[in-house]
């Protein structure tokens, strides 16, 4: 309830599992995104007629297309977003889903902002740039909105994600921190929460989340003002307004150590040069 009320107050959206949508949340439905369970749609689903967006998990392109058709029959005006795990296949899945007419994709890295299901995970910054530039190359970027989540911990991360090509971001852990969560992980192990987050007063919880989002909003306005922009959408993909570490390393040290030098090898060379 606290999160849903905060979503309405800050004019944003909250993703919530369908089974958690109790009747007392229905008046807030316009700011909720129900995450539908896998498999056939449960019947009836009255909430689909009340919301602006629903979300389904990615299984395969064909199954997602079928789910979208079922949802559109119930509510033709609802936006259907697809939830994908960021893994080495996500880029190809994104291109396939865009061709299938999907409107919004929600791509999730792990809690540290890294790629999943690989021994050499990329960071979310590189994942966003890779997918954004692939869609630009395929001339399909304008037909799809991209939401990225995982590892977004500060207001500056929002601006950085959008510069890399995101349309929006999702946040999770910062909301818990606003409720004084210690990130001890005891709840995940079936133990009681030391700060009893589950017992917070909804009005207090709503105000804490609202304060956090308002602070991030103020910081984003400062970033935009410094860049001379008045609309956050103008920031999407504007990599010319950012400095990337690997590009600076290449520009600075390639003249000394040659072209190209891997980051790990580069650091070893620098340490050796300084030691000698």
pLDDT value at 112 more than 90? yes
Q: Who contacts 105 (Cβ-Cβ below 8 Å, separation ≥6)?
A: 81, 82, 84, 94, 97, 144, 145, 146, 147
| Of residues 40 and 128, more confidently modeled | 128
Residues 145 and 173 in one domain: yes
Tell me the pLDDT band of 102, cut-offs 50, 70 and 90: very high
Q: What's the rounded mean pLDDT across residues 169-181?
A: 96
pLDDT at res. 270: 60
Return the pLDDT at 249.
84
Which one is predicted more confidently, 209 or 18?
Answer: 209
pLDDT for res 258:
66
pLDDT score, position 63: 93
Query: What per-residue confidence (pLDDT) applies to 36?
Result: 92
Say yes or no: 202 and 247 in one domain: no
> Quick one: 198 and 267 in the same domain?
no
Whether 235 and 271 map to the same domain: the answer is no
pTM higher than 0.85: yes
**What's the total number of domains in the chain?**
2
Assess whether 198 and 249 both reside in one domain.
Answer: no
Q: Crossing angle, helix 202-227 and helix 2-9, to 10 degrees?
A: 40
CB neighbour class for 199 (10 Å; exposed up to 12, middle 13-18, buried from 19): exposed
Do 252 and 208 fall within a single domain?
Answer: no
45 shares its domain with 98? yes
Q: How far apart, in whole angstroms, are the C-alpha atoms of residue 204 and residue 2?
A: 8
Residues 71 and 51: beta-carbon distance below 8 Å: no
Place 228 in a pLDDT band, splitting at 50, 70 and 90. Answer: very high
For residues 162, 148, 165, 100, the Cα torsion angle rounded to the nearest 10 degrees is -140
Q: Could you tell me the pLDDT band of residue 211, with boundaries at 50, 70 and 90?
A: very high
Mean of the per-residue pLDDT values of the chain = 91
pLDDT (0 to 100) of residue 38 = 82
Q: Using alpha carbons, select from 110, 104, 114 the residue that is nearest to residue 53.
A: 104
229 and 276 both lie in a single domain:
no
What range defines the domain where residue 273 resides?
A: 243-276
pLDDT value at residue 254: 77
Phi then psi for residue 79, to 5 deg, are -90, 130
Q: Which residues pair with 84 in a beta bridge?
A: 107
CATH number for position 44: 3.20.20.70
Within this chain, do residues 255 and 233 fall inside the same structural domain, yes or no?
no
* 83 and 217 co-located in one domain: yes
Same domain, 216 and 151: yes
Determine the average pLDDT of the residues in 168-174: 97
Do 201 and 106 share a structural domain?
A: yes
| Residue 48, both tokens | 């689909």
Grade residue 37 by pLDDT with cuts at 50, 70 and 90.
confident
**pLDDT tens sequence across 243-274:** 998 888 888 887 777 665 555 555 566 666 66
C-alpha span between 127 and 151 (Å, rounded): 12
> So what's the pLDDT on residue 71?
92
Which candidate, 271, 227, 263, places its Cα nearest to that of 247? 263
Given a cut of 70, whether residue 76 has pLDDT beyond it is: yes
């Amino acid at each position: 309830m606290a999160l849903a009320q905060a979503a309405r107050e800050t004019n944003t959206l909250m993703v919530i599992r369908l089974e958690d949508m109790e009747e007392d949340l229905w008046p807030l439905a316009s700011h909720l995104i129900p995450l539908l369970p896998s498999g056939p749609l449960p019947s009836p689903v009255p909430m689909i007629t009340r919301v602006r967006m629903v979300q389904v998990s990615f299984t395969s392109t064909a199954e997602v297309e079928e789910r979208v058709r079922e949802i559109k029959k119930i509510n033709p005006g609802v936006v259907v977003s697809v939830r994908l795990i960021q893994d080495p296949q996500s880029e190809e899945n994104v291109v396939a889903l865009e061709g299938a007419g999907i409107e919004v994709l929600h791509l999730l890295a792990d809690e540290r902002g890294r790629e999943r299901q690989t021994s050499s995970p990329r960071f979310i910054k590189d994942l966003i740039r890779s997918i954004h530039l692939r869609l630009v190359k395929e001339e399909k970027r304008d037909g799809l909105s991209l939401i990225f989540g995982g590892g977004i911990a500060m207001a500056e991360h929002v601006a950085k994600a959008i510069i890399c090509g995101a349309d929006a971001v999702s946040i999770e852990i910062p909301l818990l921190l606003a409720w004084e969560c210690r990130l001890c992980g005891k709840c995940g192990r079936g133990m009681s929460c030391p700060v009893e987050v589950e017992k917070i007063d909804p009005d207090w919880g709503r105000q804490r989340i609202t304060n956090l989002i308002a602070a991030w909003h103020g910081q984003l306005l400062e970033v935009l003002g410094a860049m001379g922009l008045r609309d956050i959408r103008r920031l999407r993909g504007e990599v010319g307004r950012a400095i990337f570490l690997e590009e600076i390393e290449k520009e600075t040290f390639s003249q000394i150590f040659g072209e190209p030098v891997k980051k790990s090898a580069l650091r070893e060379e620098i340490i050796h040069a300084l030691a000698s």
